Amino acid sequence: MHTKRSTPWLYLGPALAALTFFLIYPSINTIYLSFLDRSSERFVGASNYVYVFANRTMLTALRNNTLWVLIFTPLTVFLGLILAVILDRVEYETTIKFIIFMPMAISFVGASVIWKFVYAYRPPLAPQIGFLNAFCGILRLSPVPWLIRKPWINNFCLIAVGVWVWTGFCMVILSATYKGLPRQLLEAARIDGANEWKIFWKIIFPLMMPTITVLITTQVIGVLKVFDIVYVMTNGNFGTEVIANRMYKEMFNFRNFGRASTIAVVLLLLILPMMLVNLWRFRREGVR
């Protein structure tokens, strides 16, 4: 193309300026800040990093993020996969998909309030207005303070909110892939007498593996940064702290910018392997 040499930079200019100012410069600066003290005045070496990996609340946060990755990711992907496959067999598929995808439109803040109400707890004998505890009442169980009972129940309850929001997303992506599978292959297996269970594990699952891998990377990246649900529902109390919420607290409640920066860097380091997978995929596909 015969454009002037300066023309591309005219078009790129605003974008490059914004990317430099809002992403590149601050990221480099944050790495630098992570080696400074709380008000960024004195060099403190690696002591912020020592804190991050030794402080009890931070360790809880790291454990909980691991829990989120290990439960949220497989659950959303697997539920999405099952739904994609079984919904394909019913006539009212679209309606059900619509219902399951709808939470994606709702903010995490909204979803958190919705579920906080489901988990609402009152002491025994008081009328339970939270659905889950009312249900416990029907089963003659005593009410459970879902969001307070550590360490597993409350974390599972928070993770369930994430699953409620994100399963629809996985379902829609996997459903598109499933509908693109060669149908003759599945039919041939059925004629050969393979049962549905076998067909699922031996044919459908391996064929969908590339999509599943992509989904897992995106879900892991997303869940490592989980913030809103925890901030609104428990604010990290009762052993539900997560990395992103801890960073927010170090920043605004404790005003320790050194530690807050360090937590951000740790988050980046956890996400980095996923970034490399993305880059590798991009290189393979090429720019054009």
Partner 1 sequence: MGEEGLTRALSRTLLHIVIILVALIWIFPSLGLLVTSIRFPHDVASTGWWMIFKNPFNSTQYTLENYITVITRCGIGRAFLNSFIITIPATVLPILIASFAAYAFAWMRFPGRQSLFVILVALLVVPLQMTLIPILRVFNRLGLSGTFPGIWLAHTGYGLPLAIYLLHNSVAGLPSELFDSAEVDGASSSYIFFRLVLPLCIPAIASLAIFQFLWVWNDLLVALVYLGGTPDVAPVTVQVSSLVGSYGQMWELLTAAVFISIIPPLILFFSLQRYFVRGILAGSIKG
**Residue 55 or 196 with smaller CB distance to partner 1:** 196
Q: Which of 37, 78, 110, 200 binds partner 1 (CB under 8 A)?
A: 110
Q: Taking the complex as a whole, how short is the minimal distance between the CB of residue 172 and partner 1, in angstroms?
A: 6
By CB under 8 A, residue 288 contacts partner 1 = yes
Q: Which residues contact 102 (CB under 8 A, 6 or more apart)?
A: 168
Burial of 219 (0-12, 13-18, 19+ CB in 10 A): buried
User: Widest CA span of the chain, in angstroms?
Assistant: 81
Q: Which of 69, 71, 118, 148 binds partner 1 (CB under 8 A)?
A: 118
Q: Taking the complex as a whole, how short is the minimal distance between the CB of residue 152 and partner 1, in angstroms?
A: 21
By CB under 8 A, residue 106 contacts partner 1 = yes
Burial of 56 (0-12, 13-18, 19+ CB in 10 A): exposed
Number of residues that bind partner 1 (CB under 8 A): 92
Residues 54-73 that bind partner 1 (CB under 8 A): none
Residues 122-141 that bind partner 1 (CB under 8 A): 127-131, 134
Identity (one letter) of the amino acid at 197?
Answer: W
Q: Which of 72, 108, 146, 178 binds partner 1 (CB under 8 A)?
A: 108
**Residue 6 or 184 with smaller CB distance to partner 1:** 6
Residues 208-247 that bind partner 1 (CB under 8 A): 218, 221, 224-225, 227-228, 231-232, 244, 247
By CB under 8 A, residue 77 contacts partner 1 = no
Contact present, 240 and 227 (Cβ < 8 Å): no
User: Stretches 44-52, 66-74, 141-149, 255-263: which one binds partner 1 (CB under 8 A)?
Assistant: 255-263
Contact present, 137 and 143 (Cβ < 8 Å): yes
**Residue 117 or 205 with smaller CB distance to partner 1:** 117
By CB under 8 A, residue 254 contacts partner 1 = no
Residues 184-203 that bind partner 1 (CB under 8 A): none
By CB under 8 A, residue 2 contacts partner 1 = yes
Q: Which of 23, 59, 141, 188 binds partner 1 (CB under 8 A)?
A: 23
Tokens 């659905």 label which residue? 131
Q: Taking the complex as a whole, how short is the minimal distance between the CB of residue 11 and partner 1, in angstroms?
A: 4
- Kindly state the tokens that stand for 177: 């892939």
CA proximity to 101, closest of 78, 118, 84, 119? 84
**Residue 30 or 47 with smaller CB distance to partner 1:** 30
Q: Which of 11, 152, 201, 205 binds partner 1 (CB under 8 A)?
A: 11
